[in-house]
Structure 1
Amino acid sequence: MTPNLLVDELIKFIEPVVANFDLESNVKGIRKSPQVIGGYLEEKKPQQRQETPDFPYVIVRYLEDDDTDESNIASVRIIAGTYSEDEQNGWRDCMNVVTRIKQALLEQPIIGERFRVQKPMKTQLPEEQPFPEWMALLTVQVVIPQTEEEGGYLKDVFG
C-alpha cells in the first residue's frame, strides 16, 4: 500500500507546481497545463477523439524500493511529456517542467507528512525523442516508512 500512497502524495504535490504552465497540446489550438497522473498514460486515441489532449503530461511512476535494516528507499520516475513542432527548441518545455518539479522537491522535500525526498536526483533528456513529442525524466529517491517487526512473534520463535 505504501507505494500507492507515495504515488498519490507525489501527484498531489506536483499538480500545483505545474498548474501555471501554458503549454501547447497535441490538439491544434488547445494550450493547457500538464495533466498529472500515476503509473501510465491511457490508451492513445486519434486526435479528434481525445476529450483531453494526451500532451502535455507528467507521469509519476513507482520503480522499486530497497528495504534495508537502516532505511527503506523507493525510486520514483517523474516523466514530463510535452508537444512542440519546433525542432530546435521543442525540448525546452519538458525540461522546464522537470526542472520546476525538481526545484519544488528540493525546497520542500517532505511529501504527505510521511515521505522524504532525498538526493541523488537524476534528470535525463533522452537523445532519441519521438518528435513532435518531447520527454524529460526525473528520477528521485524517497525515504518511505519501514514496516516494524512484531516483537512478540520474534520472542516466541527465537526465544
Structure 2
Amino acid sequence: MTPTIMLDRLVEHLQSVTENFEMQTNIPGIKKAPQVVAGYLSEKKPAQKQEVPDYPYVIVRFLKDNDDNDGAVARVKIIVGTYSQDAQDGWRDPLNILTRIKQELLARPVFGESFRVEKPIETDMPEEQPFPEWWGSLTLNVIIPQMEEEGGFL
C-alpha cells in the first residue's frame, strides 16, 4: 500500500462525512457540500468564471512518512476552507467541519480496510484569517501497511 492509495481512501472516507453539509460558497446564492480532494485544489479562477465554486473545500495532503522497525506512519494534513461574509462568526464553519471529521476519525479510526488513524490529532485555527475566506486544519498520523523484506542475508 502506498501513501497515494491511503490519501485516495481517506478522501473517499471524508466525502461520506461531509456530503450532508450545505454551506455558503464564494458565489452568491449557491450552497453546497465541501469538495474533498487529495493534494491541491485546481487552478483558482475569479468567482464569476467558476463552474463549481472553490469554497467550501477539504484538502487531504501528504506531508511525510517514516518507516522504521516498529512500522510505517504517514503524516497527513486535512485543510478545510470555507467562505462567509460574517466577520464575527465565519470562523465557526471550518471549525465545525474539522470537529465533525475529527469525531469520525476518533470513532472509526480504520479506513480503506488497511489504514488506521493514531492519536494525537492536532487541530489548528490560525489567528490570522483571509476574510471572507476562513480555514483551519487537522494534522494526523496514519499507520500504513509496511513492506516486508524479501529474501535474507547469505
The corresponding residue for 1:48 is 48
Q: Which residue identity does 2:14 align to in structure 1? A: I
Listed one character per residue, the Cα deviations across residues 33-92 of structure 1 (whole Å, up to 9, x for unaligned) are 100001001111011110000000000001101111111111100011000011110000
Percent identical among aligned pairs is 56
The corresponding residue for 1:106 is 106
Q: Distance in 1 between matches of 2:62 and 2:41?
A: 14
Return the offset for 1:99. Answer: 0.5
Q: Distance in 1 between matches of 2:120 and 2:47?
A: 38
Q: Distance in 2 between matches of 1:147 and 1:127?
A: 41
Q: Distance in 2 between matches of 1:66 and 1:119?
A: 16
**Residues 3-18 of structure 1 mapped to structure 2, 5 A cutoff:** 3-18=3-18
Q: Distance in 2 between matches of 1:116 and 1:46?
A: 38
TM-score between both structures, scaled by the size of structure 2: 0.98
The corresponding residue for 1:95 is 95
Task: Give the aligned CA root-mean-square deviation in angstroms.
Answer: 0.8
Structure 1 SS opposite 2:118: strand
Q: Which residue identity does 1:29 align to in structure 2? A: G
Q: Which residue identity does 2:57 align to in structure 1? A: Y
Structure 1 SS opposite 2:106: helix
The corresponding residue for 1:32 is 32
Q: Which residue identity does 2:107 align to in structure 1? A: E
Q: Runs of 4 or more off by more than 4 Å in structure 1? A: none
- How many residue pairs are counted as aligned between the two chains? 154
Larger % of helix: which? Answer: 1
Listed one character per residue, the Cα deviations across residues 85-109 of structure 1 (whole Å, up to 9, x for unaligned) are 1111000000000100000011111
Q: Distance in 1 between matches of 2:37 and 2:27?
A: 19
TM-score between both structures, scaled by the size of structure 1: 0.95
Which sections of structure 2, spanning at least 5 residues, go unmatched? none
Q: Which residue identity does 2:124 align to in structure 1? A: Q
Q: Which residue identity does 1:59 align to in structure 2? A: I
Q: Which residue identity does 2:37 align to in structure 1? A: I
The corresponding residue for 1:86 is 86
The corresponding residue for 1:118 is 118
The corresponding residue for 2:21 is 21
The corresponding residue for 2:135 is 135
Q: Which residue identity does 1:44 align to in structure 2? A: K
